[in-house]
Structure formats: structure tokens, C-alpha cells
Chains A and B, each alone.
Chain A
Amino acid sequence: MNFKNLREYLAWLYFQYLLITGIYVLEPWEKSIFNSILFTAIAMVIYTSYVFVPIHVRLALEFFSGICGGQPESTVALMN
């Protein structure tokens, strides 16, 4: 497919989205319901990950460094 401009490409992408989800055949009000639910869900996922992922990452780092950080000394001690 060749596209003349970005708008055309976006329109095509939106059309593909309509076809694959099947909402192409729905009436406009049903389409908007589907889109709003989907976008709300996606927005919430993004928001949650923005809020919680850094915390989880930090906790995970602490946890693993807790496991791995304690070990070396004793290993070194053993080897000596």
C-alpha cells in the first residue's frame, strides 16, 4: 500500500482496527462504547504502570541485591 500522507495512513490503520475487532459492522453508538471502554482500559493500564512499575522495580532491585549482595563476602571467605 502506498499512502500519500500520514492522514491517509492513519485512516487505513483505523480501518484495520475496525475490521480486526469486528466493530466495522456495529452502529456508531456501539462503536463509541467499544472505543471508550478500550481506551479507558488502556489508559488505566498505562497510568497504573506509570505509578507502580518504578516502585516494583525498586523493590525487586532491593530484593535481589539483598540476595546477591550478602553472598560474595562469604564466598570470598571460603575461597581464602
Chain B
Amino acid sequence: MTESPATKPVDGEACERVKNGLKPERNGLVRSLHRCHERQYKHHSLADEEEVHTASHYGSLYTQPFLESFEETPMLVAVLTYMGYGILTIFGYLRDFLRHWKIERCYIAREKEEQRDFVPLYQDFENFYTRNLYMRIRDNWNRPICSVPGAKMDLMERMSNDYNWTFEYTGRVVQEVINMGSYNYLGFAENTGPCADSVAKVTAEYGVGVASTRQETGNLDKHEEMEKLVAQFLGMESAMAFGMGFATNSMNIPALVGKGCLILSDELNHASLVLGARLSGSTIRVFKHNNMQSLEKLLREAIVHGQPRTHRPWKKILIVVEGIYSMEGSIVRLPEVIALKKRYRAYLYLDEAHSIGALGPRGRGVVDYFGLDPCDVDVLMGTFTKSFGAAGGYIAGKRELIEFLRSHSHSAVYATSMSPPVVEQIITSMKCIMGEDGTTIGRERVTQLAENTVYFRRRLRELGFIIYGNNDSPVVPLMLYMPAKIGAFGREMLKRNIGVVVVGFPATPIIESRARFCISAAHTTDMLDRALSVISEVGDLLQLKYSRHRKRPLAARPFDDSVYEDIDD
């Protein structure tokens, strides 16, 4: 989860050398690695040991400071968290025992009597967890809403008489709940305004869909228009769109790589990428989250050893990373990934699901954020589900790549084409971001989002919470740790009219439960302040202000640029 700061200068230095056009073989890399480490220790002993905190802006790789922090879990909290899980597990076994002997009614699926001697279906840890821990705090998830999920929303009130096994609607509506949970980064989830108007017009004109694939009769002029626009927006040669972001990943990776290829995947990649990689049948190696040293090691091993047993070289090596990781709030170290990819001649698949629209001065995603050339990324994938307030996904790249995918990707050949109203929503919102609608609304939203993010993150840190991730990432995970606090946080926040998403195990490691806020451009400063004061109040009530670095601002650590100067001999 956390990464070692000691790895940073190695990559930075190594990559810089590539940039300078020197051959990597020229200096003994092992030697330079050692030297970097020595220096790094010296440098690092000044800093405090506990917080794993990386600031890297060596050389020309990063144009702005790259600040990412994953404060370590306090020891006491970790111990208490395990203790809490232990107690809950004991009670889980007690309840399972009661259910087994029919002392208590069992509401959930269980082994059937007539299947007694078959392989048990409901006995693994995940089922135990669902039955005995998740069910107790289930009221925090899947809350039905009855309005647009914009900056504020209306929730349908529900209650449970049997401790969350069943819910009843009371018929009342909880109004004006501040929505801190939707991936509505640019606030395009609206039912009024220019997007909604043109969508309504297109619905009247085209209907809601033609129920056919793109290769048969489902190809409309709107689709072509959107794909051109997407390619133009991203600055790529060509692009194609799919009706579902998840399928874009899981169906196109198998089309790109197969047996005899190697996929290097970040350990925290989204389920769709994992599924796609597995379906492809290629070998998968996983590197530590956002850790470039780990990636480089795997790349080098792959090139030196080739395929297992035969030792033939790999046909293709594909690095799969995401722009913003939605659970950690971290941003990929793209400049270093690109440098590594160029150096080792690998291909790069970048999933911009959360970053497109949300990052970069022009809203063009991580590539724009780092000021890089989009053509350095071989496969640029993203979804329209988040920032654009629509649905679906795209893949952009070289013309040949897209033409290949058009005829070989399962989701292009078999899936029905996108619904025209959805396509229109994408077109209007994208034009708005590009400023092609003649207004500056899009631009303003992008800057508003960046401001909101920095403000919200700074205030949370000042309040003393442990938050993860990059300073510029609009996904803000706030650590809760203890199992009971997951439930309590969600409930107390809703009581105070704020809707938040809380996340626990399977989605996170078992002790790192968290609440995840998603900042939107639609949040006004007022709303953010209200949310912050409520979070602070609930944080006091639940004792969530774990951070031991309350006073020290993140950027305060001085960075000595001269440290690496004499290395490039």
C-alpha cells in the first residue's frame, strides 16, 4: 500500500538519463543504484520516519511537485482494529452456530438439505463476512435516491425492523442531502441546462436506440461524430466508443494481447482490467502500487529471462495502469512509466476512467496534468460514466490500432451500439469542456474542481484526519480503520444530511476501511464548508482524527535538488 520513498530517486535518475538520450548501458546501473541509495538515506534521515511521503520533481520529468502521502497506520489503531474484527468474528461464529441448529432463522442463502454432501457453497470467508459483518451495517450501502445525483440529492428514507435483513420504505424523503459520493467530477449530472436540452432533442429525433451492433445497422452519424470528437479531445489519431466502460477494458485487452504476451499490472487495478488481463490468457505479473522500481525490476526480468521454460522473448509486454486509482486517490507516475516503457520497448495501456475530465488544466486527464504528449501512450482508455455524466467507454490510439480493434474486439462486434441520447450527452459535455459551445463554462468547471479538491484536502489534513493519495486527486479517501466506525460514520453523516460512501473489506485491505469523498465542480464553497464542519464534528464524536502530523503542511519538507547533480557521469 505504502511505497518506499527510497525508490524514487532511482527511477527519476534512470528515466532522466533516457531523456538525455544516453544509452542505458553506458553507466553501470548497479553502481548508480547504490549511490542513489546511499544519498537517499542521508537525505531521508532528516525527514521524519513515520509518514511515507514522496515528493519527486527531479530533473525535467515533473513540471510541478508530485505530492502523494500514505500516512502509516498508527500501531494502536491497527491493534484495536484487529481486536474489533476478532470480537465480531466470535459473534459471527455464535450466530452461525445458532443458525445451524435452527435456534435462529436464517435469512440468507445456505446449503440445501439435498445437497448435503456436495462441495459447500457458503462457507468461505467472504460469505461469512457478508453474513455476519456486512449485513449488520448494510444500511450504509445501496441507498435508493429519487433525484438527480448532482451536488445535492434526495434519498428515500428506509428502515429495518430486523437488523438490516429486510428494509421498508417509510414513504418519506430525506431532502437536500449533500452528495459526496458520486463520481460527478465536473457536475454534468444535471437535468437542466444545455446538455439536458440537446439530449431531449436528440431523443425525439433518434429515439433511444436501434438495438443492433455498429457493424450491422446500429451505426448512426452521431456515433461517428462522437468518435471524431473524442479523438480530437484527446489529441489522438483515432478513437472508438463502447456502450460500457467495464466491457471496454475486459473485452479489448484480450483483443490486444494473448498467449505468449506479458501483462504488467498495477496491484490496485480495477476489476475490469484484472478481468480483461485474465481473459486474454497472457502471463500476468503484478507490480507494487505506483512503485516504479518494482515495475522496472519486472520489466528487466521479463526481458532478460523471456518466457518461462522456452526462454523465448515475450511477444509483447503491456503495462496496464490507471490514471487515478479510485480507492487510494493516487495518481499514476506517468512520466516515469512512459520513460520506462520507452526504454524497455513495452506498450502502455492507460485507463483514464477517473482522470479524464477531472485532471489537467484543460481537463484532458493525466496526460494533460503532466503536460505530456498523448501519443506516448499506446492505448488510451477512459469512460464517459464519470466526468461526462453519461455512460460507456472509449479507446483512443493510432489509426491502425483502432481499425484493428473495430474488427477484432468482441465488444465492437457483438455489443449493441450506444443509445443516441447518451451519445449526445457525451458530445455536448465534451464540447463544453473544450469550449466549443462558445462559453467558458467547461473551463470554469475544470478549474473549480481543481480548487475544490485542493481546498477540501487541505482542510481535512488540517483537521487532523488521515487522508490518502495525491494532493490534486478529486478522490479523497479518509481512513476509518475500525469496523464499527464504518457503520457509525455513514449513519452519523446521513443524520447530519451528508451522503458519503464508506468502503470496507473486499474492496480494501481488511484494516484499511475508509470513507471516500468525491469532489465535484458542482460543490459550492458553502457546501464544502458545511460538509467539512460536519466531518469534523463526526470525527470528534468517533475519534477519527488519527493523524500525527497535524501541524506540518505537506509541502514543507525542503527538497535539495543538488543531491543528484553529480550522479550523471
Contacts and interface: CB of A to CB of B under 8 A. Distances in A.
A22 B541 contact: no
Interface string A11-28: 010011011111111110
A57 B131 CA distance: 50
Contact of A19 (B85, B94, B136, B488): B488
Given A1-B540, A16-B543, A23 B485 contact: no
Contacts of B141: none
B109 interface: no
B74 to A, nearest CB: 13
A55 B541 CA distance: 44
A9 interface: no
B84 A21 contact: yes
A24 B543 contact: no
B482 interface: yes
Contacts of A26: 88, 91, 136
Interface residues of A, number: 16
A25 B87 contact: no
A3 to B, nearest CB: 11
A42 to B, nearest CB: 15
B163 A19 contact: no
Contact of B484 (A12, A22, A27, A34): A22
Contact of A21 (B87, B137, B487): B87
B243 interface: no
A65 B2 CA distance: 55
A34 to B, nearest CB: 7
B78 interface: no
Given A1-B540, A19-B542, A30-B91, A24 B163 contact: no
A22 B85 contact: yes
A24 B484 contact: yes
A24 B83 contact: no
Interface in B129-162: 133, 136-137
B483 interface: yes
B80 interface: yes
Interface in B480-499: 482-485, 487-488
A27 B71 CA distance: 34
Interface of A: 1, 12, 15-16, 18-27, 30, 34
Given A22-B88, A23-B87, A25-B484, 9 more contacts: A16-B543, A19-B484, A20-B484, A22-B85, A23-B484, A24-B488, A25-B487, A26-B136, A27-B163
16 contacts: A1-B541, A12-B541, A19-B482, A19-B484, A19-B485, A19-B543, A20-B80, A21-B83, A22-B83, A22-B84, A22-B87, A24-B488, A25-B88, A25-B137, A34-B87, A34-B91
Top 4 closest pairs, chain A to chain B, by CB: A22-B84, A24-B484, A25-B136, A22-B484
